Amino acid sequence: MARIKLKPEKPGRRPIADKIFKIGATVAGVYVLVMVTLLVFQLVSESYPIWEEDGLSFITSTDWNAVDGRESFGALPYILGTLVTASLAMLIGVPLSIGIAMFISDAPPKIGGPLGFLVELLAAVPSVIYGLWGLFVFRLYFKDWIEKPLHDLFGDSIFLFSGTPFGLDIITASVILAIMIIPTVSAVSREVMKAVPQQQKEAAYMLGATKWEMFKLAVFPYSKTGLIGASILGLGRAVGETMAVTMLIGNATGIAAIPSSLFKPSQTMSSIIANEFVEASPASLHLPALIAVALVLLLIAIAINVVAHFLVTRMMNVKEGAINN
Amino acid sequence: MTTTNERRQEYRNLFKQNVEKRLLVDKAVRIVVFACVIIAIIPLGSILVEVFKNGISAISYEFLTETPGSIGSGEGGIGPAIQGTLIIIGLSSLIGVPIGVMSGIYLSEYGDNRLARSIRFFNDVFMEFPSIVLGIFAFLVIVLILGHFSVWAGAFALSLIMFPIVARTTEESLKMVPITYREAGTALGLKKWVITFRIVISAAKSGMITGILLSVSRIGGETAPLIMTILGSSQFFSSMDVPMDALPLRIWRLSLLPYDSAQLQGWGSALVLIIIILGINLGVRYFFANRKNGILGQLVKKGIHAKN
């Protein structure tokens, strides 16, 4: 009679295949940490020549000249350009997005669903197509219907509206950016508003509040943090956006790029990189200067997104806690 | 204190006036809020209409298959750009998807420790890195070292955009698989990797495919990182070590040319690109996404809104 041998595995020991599996998964997980470190290290080391040459005055000076022998590089106009266009985009995009979120979070699903879907589709349109549309369609209407009248009315009295309304300027780029951040901001705001407990809303209605008063009494106080987070997330998007801005901002360089009027061509950090990177020679300071611009852009984007991340996740955690209780 | 009838009347009037005002404000807000939705949808409509209207007249068999003619002639087509876009999507998926999926498995199956929390955090932040910075990174570590523009650099840059999205969607879809599935596997004496690949992943398939396809549609329209990695070209793909064309790059270059014919070709290219990308997007949403409990809703709830 054959004896059946049962050889149980020692308890507490994992099969070797599982160990390999775990190591493989861990390596893939750590990949992102390696990439972040390597990325920052590369940007710092490759832009080092310009920091050595100019120090912090690279960030505060306004000259930009890549001609051999007369090289001087200052990133201030582009940093300002980025901050101004992104803030304007926020100013236009955030109220619209919050309005959209209010409508969709409150509408019956049969209406809210499809409308929310259409707004989200805006995010699927590639940046370069926004640029193309902005350049050949939107700019022409915007120039004739909005820029020219504003310029005619206020051009002499208010500095914001001076300059020649040509369509390739700060305000056009900002409006396109605003359209591009709407899907992000409205989707996150909508979820944040949906996270408000139903009891809070009903309590407001019970006090006799109208719908708007209900939003004021119950929804906004509760979702404030999340809404701010959503807006900052949109700001992060606007700061990093490249192609549409490059195609619409007019691409001034140096001191001419300092944003002093809405109707003036300017330049952002990402657009100067897109415009000049390929022509920059690695032997000169031009390439290190552009990489330094990228480094500054990255640091600003990281700072913005970390803040947004904490605000939004905190809000969402609060929500889960509220439901469990 | 007793309330006289006159006082009651006075209060009633006050209340009436007040209610009228409040209802008016409410109505105004309703209109404004609805207008916001309309204002946001107008650009979408206009973009789609213009791209289709202007693009359709550029489309022909030659346009889709030939190399670009001489600048401004309006002849030739965008064959290399279409080919390049497909190649670059394929290659970057080859790099980005395995890394993203494995990373998602780590976060979901082993992700209850400090390391995983920091990985999750950096994943979310990395997802929002400006894509042009990732392009510069690929330029520095590949193009500068090789000494020439390379298709690999472009694929690497796009894979960097891709893998955090895939990782997060994978993690979220694996987490939606009930723990009892895993316990059933353990009770059968299966090894952990078998459980993960045969049971958990097959249960979480549709969420993962959604994530992967959405990341594909995201990188398909990406332009900025390609400028400094594959540069653009007017020839069909011949080797990994020479510049290659891609649809978004071609659209950008065409838009810079001052000729009407170039503009027309730009619209044609945009039509092809938007059909590819919206096709993937709508297809995914139609077939896979259960909007409320599906992966897309989950991600937004976590405060992550992958660009698509």
Residues A188-238: pLDDT tens digits?
Answer: 999 889 888 899 999 999 998 999 999 999 999 989 998 999 999 999 999
B36 Cβ under 8 Å from any chain A Cβ? yes
Is pLDDT at B293 greater than 60 in this prediction?
A: no
Contacts of A159 (CB under 8 A, 6+ apart): A260, A261
Instruction: Flag if A277 and B139 touch (Cβ within 8 Å).
Output: yes
Structural domains of chain B, count: 1
Q: What is the pLDDT of residue A194?
A: 87
Chain-wide mean pLDDT for chain B?
Answer: 89
Closest CB from B47, B103, B277 relative to A31: B103
A227 Cβ under 8 Å from any chain B Cβ? no
Q: Are B136 and A308 in contact (CB under 8 A)?
A: no
Distance, CA of A277 to CA of A235 (rounded, Å): 24
Closest residue in chain B to residue A290, using alpha carbons only: B136
Chain-wide mean pLDDT for chain A?
Answer: 89
Is pLDDT at B214 greater than 60 in this prediction?
A: yes
For helices B5-56 and A76-106, angle between their N-to-C axes, nearest 10 degrees:
120
A25 Cβ under 8 Å from any chain B Cβ? yes
Closest residue in chain A to residue B163, using alpha carbons only: A32
How distant is the Cα of B97 from the closest Cα of chain A, in angstroms?
11
Closest residue in chain B to residue A229, using alpha carbons only: B303
Residue B289 domain-assigned (yes or no): yes
- Phi and psi at residue B70, to the nearest 5°: -65, 155
Q: What is the pLDDT of residue B295?
A: 63
Rama region for B263: left / alpha / beta (φ>0; ψ in -120 to 50; rest): alpha
CATH number of the domain to which B84 belongs: 1.10.3720.10
Structural domains of chain A, count: 1
Residue A250 domain-assigned (yes or no): yes
Q: What is the pLDDT of residues A27-83, one digit of tens each?
A: 999 999 999 999 999 999 999 999 998 888 999 999 898 887 788 899 999 999 999
Mean of pLDDT values over A278-305? 92
CA distances from A4 to A8, A9, B64, B190 (A): 12, 16, 68, 21
Instruction: Flag if B278 and A121 touch (Cβ within 8 Å).
Output: yes
Helix (H, G, I), strand (E, B) or coil at A245: helix
A217 Cβ under 8 Å from any chain B Cβ? no
Cα pseudo-dihedral A158, A160, A163, A166, rounded to 10 = -130
Is pLDDT at A183 greater than 90 in this prediction?
A: yes
How distant is the Cα of B142 from the closest Cα of chain A, in angstroms?
12
Chain A residues with CB under 8 Å of B281 CB are 121, 124
Chain B residues with CB under 8 Å of A115 CB are 37, 41
Is pLDDT at B305 greater than 60 in this prediction?
A: no
Q: How confident is the model at residue A261 (pLDDT cuts 50, 70, 90)?
A: confident
Share of chain B above pLDDT 70, in %: 92
Is pLDDT at B308 greater than 80 in this prediction?
A: no
Closest residue in chain B to residue A123, using alpha carbons only: B308
Residue A223 domain-assigned (yes or no): yes
Decide: residue A99, CB within 10 A, 0-12 exposed, 13-18 middle, 19+ buried. buried
Segments forming the whole domain that contains residue B120: 79-245+279-301
Chain B residues with CB under 8 Å of A282 CB are 144
Q: What is the pLDDT of residue B244?
A: 94
Is pLDDT at A324 greater than 50 in this prediction?
A: no
Q: How confident is the model at residue A165 (pLDDT cuts 50, 70, 90)?
A: confident
Closest CB from A243, A277, A313 relative to B223: A243
| Confidence (pTM) | 0.91
Instruction: Flag if A43 and B137 touch (Cβ within 8 Å).
Output: yes
DSSP class of residue B235 equals S
Instruction: Flag if B191 and A17 touch (Cβ within 8 Å).
Output: yes
Instruction: Flag if B128 and A17 touch (Cβ within 8 Å).
Output: no
Closest CB from A30, A133, A210 relative to B50: A133
- Window B:241-260, CB contacts with A under 8 Å: 248, 251-252, 255
Cβ-Cβ contacts under 8 Å between A and B: the total is 284
Residue B30 domain-assigned (yes or no): no
- Window B:149-208, CB contacts with A under 8 Å: 160, 163-164, 167, 191-193, 196
Is pLDDT at A9 greater than 60 in this prediction?
A: no
A43 Cβ under 8 Å from any chain B Cβ? yes
- Window B:111-150, CB contacts with A under 8 Å: 111, 115-116, 118-119, 121-126, 128-134, 136-137, 139-141, 144
Of residues B261 and A7, which shows the higher confidence score?
B261
Residue A85 domain-assigned (yes or no): yes
**Nearest alpha-carbon partner for B86 in B220, B248, B263:** B220
Interface probe, candidates A48, A128, A189, chain B, greatest B C-beta count within 10 A: A128
A127 Cβ under 8 Å from any chain B Cβ? yes
Q: Are A193 and A105 in contact (CB under 8 A)?
A: yes
Closest residue in chain B to residue A21, using alpha carbons only: B193
CB-based burial, A196-226: b 16+ in 10 Å, e otherwise: beeeebeebeeeebbbbbbbebbbeebbeeb
Q: How confident is the model at residue B74 (pLDDT cuts 50, 70, 90)?
A: confident
Mean of pLDDT values over B47-74? 90
Closest CB from B32, B251, B300 relative to A191: B300
Residue A2 domain-assigned (yes or no): no
Is pLDDT at B291 greater than 70 in this prediction?
A: no
Residue B137 domain-assigned (yes or no): yes
Q: What is the pLDDT of residue A325?
A: 35
Instruction: Flag if B140 and A315 touch (Cβ within 8 Å).
Output: no
- Window A:158-197, CB contacts with B under 8 Å: 179, 182-184, 186-188, 190-191, 195
Q: How confident is the model at residue B306 (pLDDT cuts 50, 70, 90)?
A: very low
Chain A residues with CB under 8 Å of B297 CB are 191
Segments forming the whole domain that contains residue A137: 52-324
